[in-house]
Structure 1
Amino acid sequence: MCSKWDNDEVIQRFREYLRIPSVHPDIDYGDCVEFLKKQAHDLDLPVAVYEFVPKKPVVVITWEGAQPELPSILLNSHMDVVPVYEEHWTYPPFDAVVSEDGFIYGRGTLDMKDIAMMHLEAVRRLKNAGVRLKRTVHLSFVPDEETGSVDGMRVFSESPEFKDLNIGFALDESAPNLHPTEIMAFYGERTSRQIVVTCRGDPGHGSLLSSNTAGEKGGVQINVLPENLSVSFDIRIAPDVDHDEFDDMILRWCREAGDGVTFEYVVKNPQVKNTKIDGSVPFWDVLKNVVADMGYTIKCLICPGATDARHIRRQGIPAINFSPIMDTPMLLHAHNERIHIDVFKKGIDIFENVLKAVANVP
Structure 2
Amino acid sequence: MEMSFRNNRHLLLLYFLCLLLLTLAASEDSSAIISRFQHYLRINTAHPSPKYHDAVDFILSQAKSLSLESQILEFVKDKPVLLLKWPGKNPNLPSILLNSHTDVVPAEHSKWTHPPFDAVLDHTNGHIYARGSQDMKSVGLQYLEAIRKLKKAGFGPDRTVYISFVPDEEVGGHDGAEKFADSEVFKEMNVGIVLDEGLASPDENYRVFFGERCPWWLKIKATGAPGHGAKLYDNTAMENLLKSIESVRRFRASQFDLVKAGLKAEGEVISVNMAFLKAGTPSPTGFVMNLQPSEAEAGFDIRVPPTADEASLERRIAEEWAPVSRNMSFELGQFKQKVSVHDKFGKPILTAVDSSNPWWNLLEEAVKNANGKLGKPEIFPASTDARYFRLRGLPAIGFSPMANTPILLHDHNEFLNKDEYIKGIDIYESIIKAYASFVEHTRIEEGSRDEL
Same fold per superposition (TM over 0.5): yes
- Is 1:359 equivalent to 2:436 in the alignment? yes
Q: Which has the larger radius of gyration?
A: 2
Deviation, 1:250, is: 1.5
Q: 1:215 to 1:92 in 2, by over 3 A?
A: closer
User: Does the CA contact (< 8 Å) of 1:254 and 1:262 recur in 2?
Assistant: no
> Per-residue CA shift, 1:269-316, capped at 9, x if unaligned?
122312122332210121122223434123211111111111111222
Match of 1:319 among 396, 405, 423: 396
**CA–CA distance in structure 2, aligned partners of residues 140 and 26 of structure 1:** 21
Residue 355 (structure 2) aligned to one of 264, 272, 279? 279
Q: With the length of structure 2 as denominator, give the TM-score of the two structures.
A: 0.74
Partner of 2:180: 156
**Secondary structure of the corresponding residue to residue 258 of structure 1:** helix
Structure 2: 5+ residue stretches without partners: 1-26, 244-279, 281-288, 342-348, 441-452
Equivalent position SS for 1:151: coil
Structure 1 residue aligned with 2:224: 201
Structure 1 unaligned regions, length at least 5 = none
Amino acid at match of 2:123: E
Aligned to 1:231: 298
Alignment deviations for residues 188-216 of structure 1 (CA, whole Å, 9 cap, x no partner): 11120011222233333343332343344
SS of residue in 2 equivalent to 1:235: strand
Q: Is the 8 A contact 1:5 1:11 kept in 2?
A: no
TM-score between both structures, scaled by the size of structure 1: 0.92
* 1:218–1:175 CA distance, 2 compared to 1 (3 A): same
CA distance 1:39–1:177, change in 2 (3 Å) = same
Q: Which amino acid aligns with 2:202?
A: L
Deviation at residue 337 of structure 1 after TM alignment: 2.1
- Secondary structure of the 2:306 match is coil
Distance verdict in 2 for CA 1:178–1:47, change over 3 Å: same
Query: Is the Cα contact below 8 Å between 2:70 and 2:85 reproduced in 1?
Result: yes
Q: Which residue number corresponds to residue 350 of structure 1?
A: 427
Rate the CA distance shift 1:158–1:32 in 2: closer, same or farther, 3 A: same
Q: Which moved more, 1:253-262 or 1:60-69?
A: 253-262
Do the aligned partners of 1:29 and 1:57 also contact (CA within 8 Å) in 2?
A: yes
Partner secondary structure for residue 359 of structure 1: helix
From 301, 325, 328, the counterpart of 1:258: 325
Aligned length: 358
- Within the candidate set 22, 25, 33, 2:45 is matched to 22
Q: Is the 8 A contact 1:217 1:257 kept in 2?
A: no
- Using the alignment, how far apart are the partners of 1:110 and 1:141 within structure 2? 15
Aligned to 2:131: 107
The alpha carbon displacement at 1:254 in A equals 5.1
Change (3 A) 1:244 1:287: same
- Confirm or deny: 8 A CA contact 1:219 1:229 kept in the other structure: no
Residue 113 (structure 2) pairs with residue 90 (structure 1): yes
More helix by share: 2
8 A contact 2:47–2:105 mirrored in 1: yes
Q: CA deviation at 1:255?
A: 7.0
Q: What percent identity do the matched residue pairs reach?
A: 43
Q: Tell me whether 284-293 or 158-167 shows the greater mean CA deviation.
A: 284-293
Is contact 1:32–1:79 with CA below 8 Å preserved after alignment?
yes
1:245 is aligned to 312
Q: Which residue of 2 aligns with 1:290?
A: 366
- The one-letter amino acid paired with 2:60 is K
- Cα 1:10–1:236 change in 2 (3 A) is same
Partner of 1:305: 382
- Tell me which moved more, 153-162 or 265-274: 265-274
